[in-house]
């Protein structure tokens, strides 16, 4: 038993020495691991708070469509930081659930325009207050000052590393709004 304790202490001392010389980072202190764990926690809290079978990315899609009715799938992908095939798959799934309507404009057979159905709009109206509750749950372990700092640094990290993503967020398109006169479309 004493040998095990000495061996464990020696191994711990070696890790500490490596850490002091910058050669070792405990896996639990690595930024990538911490971000992955934070994502796991956030998704778990999302599901327990929202409780309606919508995933975090589906919620993002629904909120973007609430703010930008009639956008095409490519623009949706850019505004949600998704690749275009994922955005198209999400649109199909949300259409199957009766939450989104996909339309094909008369002038172009290549684009699909998207908008919330009345059921989708009602669901978003239900979810937004829960999202505020979720935000409070996610940040409640931090005091108000820490919350502001955490969010400021998280936004900075995401903004400065946006182009490293396989599907960078492109907010240049967030000003786009297709009015209903441009939506003369037939159902896809």
**pLDDT (tens digit per residue) in 127-177:** 999 999 999 999 999 999 999 999 999 999 999 999 999 999 987 755 554
Q: Quote the DSSP letter at residue 102.
A: E
Q: Please, are residues 183 and 101 in contact by the beta-carbon 8 Å criterion? A: no
Q: Quote the DSSP letter at residue 113.
A: E
- Looking at the domain assignment, is residue 137 inside a domain? yes
**pLDDT (tens digit per residue) in 4-61:** 555 555 555 555 555 566 667 899 999 999 999 999 999 999 999 998 899 999 999 9
Sheet holding 185-187, edge to edge: 71-72, 113-116, 100-105, 185-187
- Looking at the domain assignment, is residue 154 inside a domain? yes
Q: Please, are residues 95 and 102 in contact by the beta-carbon 8 Å criterion? A: yes
Q: What is the extent of the structural domain holding 159?
A: 28-173
Q: What was the pLDDT predicted at 179? A: 39
* CATH number, position 87: 1.10.10.10
Q: Please, are residues 177 and 69 in contact by the beta-carbon 8 Å criterion? A: yes
Q: What was the pLDDT predicted at 8? A: 54
- Looking at the domain assignment, is residue 21 inside a domain? no
Phi, psi of 24 (to 5 degrees): -145, 135
- Looking at the domain assignment, is residue 92 inside a domain? yes
Number of domains composing the chain: 1
- Looking at the domain assignment, is residue 8 inside a domain? no
Residue 55 CA to its chain's centroid (Å):
9
């Amino acid at each position: 038993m004493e040998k095990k304790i000495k061996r464990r202490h020696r191994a711990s001392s070696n890790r500490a020495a490596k850490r002091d010389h910058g050669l070792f980072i405990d896996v639990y202190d690595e930024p990538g691991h911490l971000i992955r764990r934070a994502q796991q926690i956030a998704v778990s809290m999302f599901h327990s708070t929202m409780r309606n079978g919508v995933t975090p990315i589906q919620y993002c899609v629904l909120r973007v469509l609430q703010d930008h009715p009639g956008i095409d799938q490519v623009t949706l992908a850019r505004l949600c930081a998704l690749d275009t095939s994922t955005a198209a798959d999400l649109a199909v799934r949300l259409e199957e659930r009766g939450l989104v309507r996909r339309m094909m404009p008369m002038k172009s057979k290549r684009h699909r325009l998207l908008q919330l159905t009345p059921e989708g709009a009602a669901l978003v109206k239900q979810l937004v207050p829960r999202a505020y509750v979720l935000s409070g749950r996610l940040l409640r372990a931090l005091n108000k000052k820490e919350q502001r700092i955490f969010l400021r640094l998280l936004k900075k990290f995401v903004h400065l590393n946006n182009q490293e993503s396989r599907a960078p967020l492109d907010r240049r398109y967030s000003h786009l709004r297709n009015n209903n006169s441009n939506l003369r479309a037939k159902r896809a």
